[in-house]
């Protein structure tokens, strides 16, 4: 089977099989919306029995927990007596060898990847601890409780349907130029900007100072212009070099139509702090998405989870150290 679906546990309304009760009925409706038949999927659960008292009924302290497993929520671990449930799940998925595993809810996400936080993890492919491709989304019971989640789950399932065509975890290829010199900026413009209909632009700030600004002339290429090192020191060696960099940025914004994500903030920051206008603002991805899907979130991470195959870069950055 190309798709495996993993839920948290059996419920009292299930007839001994995963998703055989009312939760399964809701799941069928969600899957049908994106053209997936549950009969063609392998379905299983992390805990193959109803959880009296919910997921917390299987939790304990770190000392009581499965030694090889991370916390399922902060400070809480799945008790060692349930280790066989996770072994059984791993064996099932290894035997089925699906192209993608859909993790329904935070417990399934944790069991497959060790990650916690379904809101941040959903909609983005990642690898399980066994090397299988996983895409997490909210479980059907969450949708019943909070109907606004339904279009998000449908979007995630649509991505899962597309990803089910192949087993590989394929990340988009991006060529990002960092730590440029002034000569590098001019060469980059001459090489890549001439054929660009628009530039995408994004800034990063800290305490009302722009720490870096990025420009992208195409979906797979970008250049980042930094102004501060992680130590807090100025990136540019001299004041003249920094002024030259700002002059180039000012000219790019004046000469090339530009696309933003929440551009009112970026343009406002450029103008009020540096006196740099952005007269050729052409589009704003946040506003465009909000016009189409006003009921959904509109942050950049959420949009990336819907419209791209990018990994969650904020999650990737956690724990990283910089020189």
Separation of alpha carbons 275 and 293, rounded Å: 34
Q: What string of pLDDT tens digits covers the 323 residues of the chain?
A: 799 999 999 988 787 889 988 889 999 999 999 999 999 999 999 999 999 889 999 999 999 999 999 999 999 999 999 999 999 999 999 999 999 999 999 999 999 999 999 999 999 999 999 999 999 999 999 999 999 999 999 999 999 999 999 999 998 899 999 999 999 999 999 999 988 999 999 999 998 899 999 999 999 999 999 999 988 899 999 999 999 999 999 999 999 999 999 999 999 999 999 999 999 999 999 999 999 999 899 999 999 999 998 876 666 655 444 44
Domains belonging to the chain, first-starting first, are: 3-163 (3.40.470.10), 175-316 (3.30.420.10)
- Residue written as token pair 């870096």: 212
Query: Cα torsion for 95, 160, 135, 259, to the nearest 10°?
Result: 150
pLDDT for 322 equals 42
Handedness of CA 123, 127, 128, 129 (dihedral sign): negative
Separation of alpha carbons 139 and 104, rounded Å: 4
pLDDT for 321 equals 45
Helices 22-33 and 150-163 cross at an angle (nearest 10°) of 60
Q: How far does CA 164 lie from the centroid of its chain?
A: 18
The pTM for the full model equals 0.89
Judge whether 207 and 214 are in contact, CB under 8 Å.
no
């Amino acid at each position: 089977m190309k798709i495996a679906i993993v839920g948290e546990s059996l419920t009292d309304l299930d007839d001994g099989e995963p998703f055989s009760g009312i939760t399964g009925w809701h799941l069928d409706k969600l899957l049908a919306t994106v053209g997936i038949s549950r009969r063609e999927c392998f379905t299983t659960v992390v805990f193959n029995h109803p959880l009296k008292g919910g997921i917390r009924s299987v939790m304990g302290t770190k000392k009581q927990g499965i030694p090889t497993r991370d916390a399922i929520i902060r400070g809480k671990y799945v008790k060692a007596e349930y280790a066989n449930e996770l072994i059984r799940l791993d064996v099932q998925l290894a035997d089925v060898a699906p192209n993608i595993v859909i993790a329904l809810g935070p417990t399934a996400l944790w069991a497959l990847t060790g990650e916690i936080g379904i809101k941040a993890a959903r909609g983005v492919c990642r690898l399980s601890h066994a090397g299988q491709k996983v895409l997490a989304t909210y479980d059907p019971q969450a949708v019943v409780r909070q109907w606004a989640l339904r279009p998000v789950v449908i979007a995630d399932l649509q991505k899962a349907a597309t990803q089910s065509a192949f087993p590989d975890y394929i990340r988009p290829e991006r060529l990002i130029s960092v730590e440029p010199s002034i000569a590098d900026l001019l060469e980059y413009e001459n090489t890549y900007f001439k054929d660009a209909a628009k530039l995408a632009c994004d800034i990063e700030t800290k305490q009302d100072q722009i720490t870096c600004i990025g420009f992208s002339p195409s979906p797979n290429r970008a250049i980042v212009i930094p102004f501060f090192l992680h130590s807090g020191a100025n990136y540019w060696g001299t004041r003249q070099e920094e002024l030259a960099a700002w002059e180039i940025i000012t000219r790019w914004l004046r000469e090339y139509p530009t696309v933003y994500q929440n551009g009112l903030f970026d343009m406002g920051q450029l103008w009020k702090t540096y006196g740099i206008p952005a007269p050729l603002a052409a589009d704003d991805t946040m506003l465009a998405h909000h016009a189409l899907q006003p009921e959904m979130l509109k942050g950049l991470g959420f949009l990336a989870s819907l419209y791209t195959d990018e990994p969650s870069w904020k999650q990737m950055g956690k724990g990283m150290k910089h020189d």
